[in-house]
Structure formats: C-alpha cells, structure tokens
Amino acid sequence: MLGSGSVTISGTGPAANMLVMVQQSTDGGNTWTDFAPLLTDNSSKYTTAAAAPPAFGSVWYRANFTGIVPSPGIVAGIQNGTIKLDEMEYQTLSTTKADWLNGRVLWTPLPGQSQTTDPITVSSASTDAMVVAVPIVVIIAIVGAALWMRSRKKKSTPAK
C-alpha cells in the first residue's frame, strides 16, 4: 500500500512526432538518467506515467527534446505498435538519425532556448502522510479494543 501509485508526466514539445526522452534525477537535478522515450503526438504533446516516489523522498523529471523527427512511416509504426519505442530502440534511433529522418529537418533550439524543460519535482507527501498516519491509527485501534474488552470484563463480573 505504501509507496504505490503513479504520477503523470506530460507537456508540450516543440514539434509534432518528435522523439522525446523523459529523464529522471534522484539527487536534486545534479545527475540525470534516461527514463522513458516518447513520441509527441500531432499536437506536440507527450505523456507518460512514473511510479510514485518512496516515502519521504522526491524525484525530479524533465523532458529532453532530441530534435529527431522520424519519417512518416516510422511514426506510423510507433503509433500502431509495430515498432516498439523502448530505451534500447531509442538509443539506436538517436545514433542513426539519417535512417530515421528520411530527409526531414531536425529541430534545434533557438539561441537562448533550452533543449530540456525545467525540471518538475514529485514529492511523496501523500505517501509520507500514510507512513505517519497508519501506525497511529493502528495504535489507537489497539488501545480502543483493549479498553472496550476491559469494560466488558468489568460488566460481566458477578457481584458478591
């Protein structure tokens, strides 16, 4: 029960059908690891789910816009599931851009524009509350049951 659930990470990219890598940091944004490769939709939007952070913890996410816009056939393959866009496939795609672009123009950030989004922080506030509340509720229930049993025992003792 504790530490379960998920959070949705979503946003809008600079171009439709662009490969985006959502990245994750567990050290406040000092180091980033690839988390989920995505393809923006026709409205340039992307979305993915991530597990809720551990109790009393925070995780940071950002989107890295790769600039890779695959050819229409490859986009269709990703959308209909014949091409699985997992992290290994993403690494292959992002190192062989020419095969995927088929003459299409790469997106590049404008001067002063970042290739990554500002990080978002996902904290475990609801999980933290459960970690604190569940033991308190259990203790109250045990004390209540003990007092109730004690009062029943006193009532059932015959008078002399």
Condensed to tens digits (0 to 9), the pLDDT of residues 132-142 reads 556 676 677 67
Q: Are the C-beta atoms of 124 and 52 separated by less than 8 Å?
A: yes
Question: Would you say the pTM of this structure is higher than 0.75?
Answer: no
User: Both tokens of residue 29?
Assistant: 């944004």
pLDDT range class, residue 116, cuts 50, 70, 90: confident
Residue 106's pLDDT is 63
User: Both tokens of residue 77?
Assistant: 């393959």
- Name the nearest CA neighbour of 46 among 73, 19, 83, 85: 19
Q: Which amino acid is at 142?
A: I
Q: Are the C-beta atoms of 107 and 15 separated by less than 8 Å?
A: yes
3-state helix, strand and coil shares in percent for the chain, rounded to the nearest 5 = 35, 25, 40
Burial of 9 (0-12, 13-18, 19+ CB in 10 A): buried
Residue 117's pLDDT is 74
**Higher per-residue confidence, 21 vs 110:** 21
**Higher per-residue confidence, 144 vs 69:** 69
**Higher per-residue confidence, 151 vs 103:** 151
Residue 158's pLDDT is 62
